Amino acid sequence: MVERKTVFISCGQYTEEERELGKRARNLVEQHTPYEGYFAETQTTLKALSENILRRLYESVGLIVIMHHRGKIEGYSTDRASVWIEQEVAIATLMEQVLGRPLYVALFVQKGIAIEGIRQQIQLNPIEFTNGEEVISALQTILPTWKAPLYIGDDERKKMVDSIVLLIKTDNAHQRNYTIQIENASKFDVEVKRICLWCKEQRVSKPIYRPKDAPWTVRAHGYLPIQFDAGETVAHRLWQLAGSPSLVGKAWAQQLFQIEVRIVLLCEVLGLEKEFEENKTVQVDPVNWHINGIS
């Protein structure tokens, strides 16, 4: 079963009214989005803080912030909000602006609360409210727009990359020219960055890197032939690895032989690098230094 992604709800818990508002916001998330609402309960230990608050916030796709009055700032007539909630806003800002993990954000500020701290430097367009019903009404409009996540987490991205299947085989080769075929059976584009050919655990081509002027992109559910200069005559190298069989006095058909070639691709998918490889049998003509793919 796939774990649902989370919308983190940062709301006061000082009064029963505030706690009830946080719970109602959580319920709205689950009614109007594909995500699970997480309303953090008060934590009393550092371990609980780390595991239940910071981790949850870091892994969330959305953030609902509801700031209530928490009294006057000493020496000033300014009303402040919860220091804890201000810190959660700062963490979310770090995630988006420094770590590149954008979130859906809905910020509600009770009328009269001063703009201070990091909220002075960021553009969050807070919604002012006087009572909880205004927050609930606004969320009923906002939440249905929170659809696909704005960011894919590292673990999830790795799982997506690991699920990709590429079908790779030799088409043909002559002298130093070599052509492979790649079929992408996944729903993500794959960028080929490097190609190597191996046989019997020995490399039979130089590493071939993607040309700057010709991106090797295999589109989702697509197909791409790639022709490249292998740096050496691959058929000759395969003939050597086959034991350099004598060609004297043999008919042309008898001179052909089959051998297995391993094609290794270094690719980039969703910002991550991954190697794909496949072993396929080829037929080699050692007289004309020609290769045909068989399987």
How does pLDDT run across 228-259, given as a tens digit for each residue? 999 999 999 999 999 887 776 676 667 889 99
- Winning range, highest mean pLDDT, from 90-94, 116-120, 270-274: 270-274
Where would I find the beta strands (DSSP E) of the chain? Answer: 6-11, 36-39, 62-67, 104-110, 127-129, 166-174, 177-184, 190-199, 202-203, 208-209, 216-218, 223-229, 257-269, 272-285, 290-293
Q: 6-151: CATH homologous superfamily?
A: Flavodoxin domain (3.40.50.360)
The verdict on domain 159-293 having CATH code 1.10.10.10 is: no
Q: What are 132-172's pLDDT values in tens digits?
A: 999 999 999 999 999 988 887 777 788 889 999 999 999 99
Question: Does pLDDT of 280 surpass 80?
Answer: yes
Q: How far apart are the first and last CA of the chain?
A: 37
Q: Can you count the helices (H) and strands (E) in the chain? A: 8, 15
Which pLDDT does position 102 carry in this prediction? 85
Q: Is the pLDDT reported for residue 195 higher than 80?
A: yes
| pLDDT above 70 (res 202) | yes
Instruction: Count Cβ atoms below 10 Å from residue 42 Cβ, excluding itself.
Output: 10
Query: Higher-confidence residue: 81 or 219?
Result: 219
Buried b (16+ CB within 10 A) or exposed e, 105-144: bbbbbbeebbeeeebeebebebeebeebeebeeebeebbe
Q: What whole-number distance in Å separates Cα of residue 116 and Cα of residue 164? A: 47
- In this prediction, residue 110 carries a pLDDT of 84
Per-residue pLDDT, 75: 54
Task: State how far the Cα of 35 lies from the Cα of 149, in Å rounded to an integer.
Answer: 10
Share of the chain above pLDDT 70, in %: 83
Q: How far apart (Å, rounded) are the C-alpha atoms in residues 186 and 164?
A: 5
- 8 A C-beta contact, residue 10 and residue 88: yes
Mean pLDDT of the chain: 84
Q: Left if phi > 0, otherwise alpha if psi is -120 to 50, otherwise beta: which for 34?
A: alpha
CA angle, residues 37, 1, 143, in degrees to nearest 5: 25
Question: What is the structure's pLDDT at 1?
Answer: 37
Interior angle at CA 55, CA 35 and CA 40, nearest 5: 65
For 73-114, the pLDDT digits (tens) are: 565 556 766 666 767 777 777 777 667 788 898 888 888 776
pLDDT value for 44: 47
pLDDT at 134: 95
Give the residue extent of every domain in the chain: 6-151, 159-293
pLDDT digits (tens, 9 = 90+) for 30-61: 999 999 998 876 554 545 555 667 778 778 88
pTM (global) more than 0.75: no
Measured CA to CA, the distance from residue 44 to residue 291 in angstroms comes to 69
Structure-derived torsion over alpha carbons of residues 127, 132, 136, 137, reported in degrees to the nearest 10: -70
CB distance 64 to 25 below 8 Å: yes
**Average confidence (pLDDT) over 247-275:** 86
Give the angle 108-64-153 at the CA atoms, nearest 5°: 150
